[in-house]
Amino acid sequence: MSSENDLSPLPALTEIEKRCLELAANGRTPADIVLETDIAMTRVTDAICSAIEKLGARNITGAITRAARLRLI
């Protein structure tokens, strides 16, 4: 688990990953994100899963928290 004070590089999130995390942070469900962005459901779920993995989180809440702390979103 990394912290914001260590020297490890910031995860490189794609624009879609960032957008999905931002929308999820504002309470949007994956279905809401699909309707709001016109991105396919499979792409939304892939982006969320990828962001969770890149951020070393266990779930979407952890990914949102880490991304916010790292000022990625």
Domains assigned to the chain: 15-70 (1.10.10.10)
- Is 60 exceeded by the pLDDT of residue 2? no
* pLDDT of res. 11: 87
pLDDT for residue 6 = 56
pLDDT tier, 5 (very low <50, low <70, confident <90, very high otherwise): low
Cβ 72 vs Cβ 11: under 8 Å = yes
Stronger pLDDT, 72 or 7, i.e. the higher one: 72
Instruction: List all residues 6 or more positions away from 57 whose beta carbon is below 8 Å from its beta carbon.
Output: 63, 65, 66
**Measured distance CA(57)–CA(69) in Å, rounded:** 13
Task: Work out the pLDDT band at 7, boundaries 50, 70, 90.
Answer: low
Q: How far apart are CA 59 and CA 5, in angstroms?
A: 22
Tokens (6 digits) for 4: 């914001």
Mean pLDDT of 29-33: 97
